[in-house]
Structure formats: structure tokens, C-alpha cells
Amino acid sequence: MDKAALHRMEIKAAPLLERFPFPFQADSYRYSNNSRALVPPVCTDLTPEYFEEIGGKRKLLERYPERTFQAFPHTVEAQWEIMAMLMNELAAVHSDYFKLDKQGVQWTFYNRLLDEKSTFVFGDLSTLPYEPLDFIGRHVQEDLIYLQQRDGDLYMDAGQLCFPANWSLAFDLGMTYLQFHSPVPIYSDSGLAEKVRGFLLRMEAGKPWTRLNWTLNVGPRLDTSPEAFGEWGVGRFGLNLENVGEIMHLRAEDQRLFQIPGSNGVLFSIHTHLLPFDQLINNKTWADRFCKVLEDLPDPIAEYKGFLSYKPLLIEYLKQHI
């Protein structure tokens, strides 16, 4: 029995269907700057899937370090700042599970969920087993991306990414906001990406924003990286009305954006939630709305999100169960 199972505390929460962040506000979906102020201004969100997701994350980090963590040397200060911000938050907001003791620069961080205690000197890399962003990322379910503002643009200069929706941190590292969004149809060529970039550049510390992004997932697998496409990409063959309810998942990304004032950058966290279709249909309002969204969705967006070829099947399934 692993240590985590022995000392496991439980994270109590409502059933998945009740707490799932349904990403559609209307019967139609288009790209927009759908950010709203994050209230309360908290980045981390703990769900009962914590142990499974942290376990999965840490396995990926050990096995595929180059894929899952990348950071330019000049981001070290920013990483410390982000780590401090998240540790302070975890200890304050989730005080049942986390504790942070500070004796000057000597910090001790307690994760009661995993029964882990880490002592280190804040600011001294040699006292941490991983770079600060990589370290704190191993304690939270969110993927953490750091966008540095430099010379008038935003650059993806550091990140820990274990559950990407088919994009590669190893490839995108160092790209500007417009560059890493260039594959997204409509968003990148309509002027919307520039508008959102302007919005991000003018974000203020203490006023975080949040938005929901979505796609569809074949199977319950969180790691849908391009690197592993050979493993998960084949799932879409062999879908039919009998199995689609169990296999297809609505994948929602709860994204939270925080301006990091010391380094003048933006922390962009992604918490991924999966809801299988056969559970989604238990909420008739959602099923109805989702069906309308799919029917109305322009082909380029469905294609980019990878489900254009079996969209009719999905709509048929939903219609059957509304």
C-alpha cells in the first residue's frame, strides 16, 4: 500500500455533475474574450480527484521531464514569486490540508493530503529538489504556465504542463502570445488574439481574471499531449451510439490569470475537468444547450478541436437523451 493511501485524507465535495464547470453561457459558442473577474481571487481549486491527478502528474514529470517542464533561466525570480503566492494561498485558503511556516527565509511547507513536509531556504535553488514552479506544481492539480512581459509583448517563458489539450510546451516555449495561438482558427486571424493580448498586458496585480475553455475528450485520459497522440488519438475510431456515452467526455479548462507584479508577467493556470457524456445527459438543460452549441458550431472550430468527423454522432446521441 502506498503512503498516500495510508494517510489519505478525503476531499469532500459535491458529485461531479454538480461541480463541473459547464463552459457554455448561451446556445451558441464562438471565440471571444470571455474572461470575467475572478471572485474570490483564488488560483487553486482542490477536488476529490486530487490524489489521482497529482499521482498522474508526478508520474509524467518523472518519466517525461522535457515534455512536462520547461523554463528559461531568466524566469527563476518569477518562479519563486509564483511559488510563494501559491504556497501562501494554499495555507490560507485550504488550511485543513496545507501549512506554511516561515522563519525568516527558512520556510517549511506541509502538504497534509500527501503527508509531505518540505524545508527550504526561500531564494536558494540548492535547497529545493526542483525549480520553484516545478516544485509547487507537484502539489496542485492545475497546470501552471508563466507568460513574461518583455519588450512590449508576452512570451511563454516557463511552464509545467502535464495535461495539455493537444499542445506542446517543449515546442511553444519562447513563443509570443500571437505565435502560440496561431494554430487556432478564427481566434488568430480575426484580430481577437491581439485584443486579448492587450488585455493581458494591462492586467493588474490583485485583480485576477478567469475564463473557461473547452474541447472533447475520447476516454477519461487527462494527458492528451501531441507527444502521446499515438496512444490517445486512435480512440476516436470505433465510436457508435452504444459506446459514445461512456467514451466521450466534455473537457472543460478552468483557466485563471494572475498578474505577477515583481517580475511583471502573468501566471496562467489550467485546471482540467472531464465529464462523461452519459453523466452530462442527466442534466437536461446542459444536454440541450450542448446539443445546440454543437449544431451551431462552425466547422473550422470543430475541426481544430478534433471532432468534426464524428460530430453528427454526438448530436444524435444527445438528441436521443434530451
Partner 1 sequence: MEEEIKCGILQGEVLLKSYYVINAEILEGRLSSPVGMVTDGIRINEFRITTPVSLVKLSTGFKEQIKLYVDLQLCSDDERRILANAKSGTILMQAPDLEVSLQGNKHLLFIGDSGVLQAFPAILALARSGGQVEVYSMHRMGKAALNALRSYVKRMDFPLRSIRGGGDRSIAHILEAQTVGTRIMAFCDWSDYSRIKHIARRIGYSNMEIQGIGIGEKDERVFCARCYQMQHKPHESEIICMQCGIPLVISNHYSPRLEAYMGYVNVN
Partner 2 sequence: MFDSNIKVRVAEVAEETPLVRSFKLVPVEGELPRFSAGAHITTYLQTDNKLLERHYSLTGNPKYSDSYRIAVRRSDTSRGGSAFWHSQVKVGDEMEISQPKNHLPLSFEAKHHILIAAGIGITPFMAMMADLKEAGKSFELHYAAASAEYCPFYSFILSHYGKQAHFYFSSEQQRMFTLLMWNQPVGSHVYFCGPEGLITQFKHSAQSYGYPDSSIHFELFTPPVTGPCYPFEVMLTKSKIALHVPEDRSLLDVLLDKGIKAPYSCKIGGCGSCEVEVEEGEVDHRDFFLSEQDKKKRNVMIACVSRAKSKRVSIHL
Q: Which residues are catalytic?
A: 211
168 contacts which partner out of partner 1, partner 2, none, CB within 5 to 8 A by kind? partner 1
Considering the complex, what minimum distance in angstroms separates the CB of residue 116 from partner 2?
25
Considering the complex, what minimum distance in angstroms separates the CB of residue 41 from partner 2?
5
213 contacts which partner out of partner 1, partner 2, none, CB within 5 to 8 A by kind? none
Is residue 66 involved in binding partner 1 (CB under 8 A)?
yes
By CB atoms closer than 10 A (0-12, 13-18, 19+), residue 175 is middle
Residue from 33, 118, 182, 213 touching partner 1 (CB under 8 A): that is 182
What DSSP line would sit under 33-50, residue for residue?
---EE-SS-------TTH
* Residue 27: DSSP 8-state: S
For residue 124, the number of C-alpha atoms closer than 13 Å in the C-beta half-sphere is: 9
Backbone angles phi, psi at 21, to 5 degrees: -80, 95
Single-letter amino acid, residue 203: M
Tell me whether residue 26 or residue 322 sits nearer to partner 2 (CB atom). 26
Considering the complex, what minimum distance in angstroms separates the CB of residue 230 from partner 1?
5
The enclosing H or E element of 85 equals helix 76-93
242 contacts which partner out of partner 2, partner 1, none, CB within 5 to 8 A by kind? none
205 contacts which partner out of partner 2, partner 1, none, CB within 5 to 8 A by kind? partner 2
Considering the complex, what minimum distance in angstroms separates the CB of residue 229 from partner 1?
4
Residue from 47, 179, 213, 283 touching partner 1 (CB under 8 A): that is 179
Is residue 300 involved in binding partner 1 (CB under 8 A)?
no
Other C-beta atoms closer than 10 Å to the C-beta of 250 total 21
Nearest one of 242, 197, 204, 194 to 41, comparing CA atoms: 204
Residue from 93, 170, 186, 192 touching partner 1 (CB under 8 A): that is 170
Convert residues 203-242 into a mask of x (bound to partner 1 by CB under 8 A) and - (unbound).
-----------------------xxxxx--xx--------
Identify whether 40 is preceded by a cis peptide bond (ω within 30 of 0). Answer: yes
Other C-beta atoms closer than 10 Å to the C-beta of 92 total 11
Is residue 172 involved in binding partner 1 (CB under 8 A)?
yes
Inter-CA distances, 298 with 28, 185, 251, Å: 10, 10, 19
Binding footprint of partner 1 on the chain (CB under 8 A): 66, 168, 170-175, 179, 182-183, 226-230, 233-234
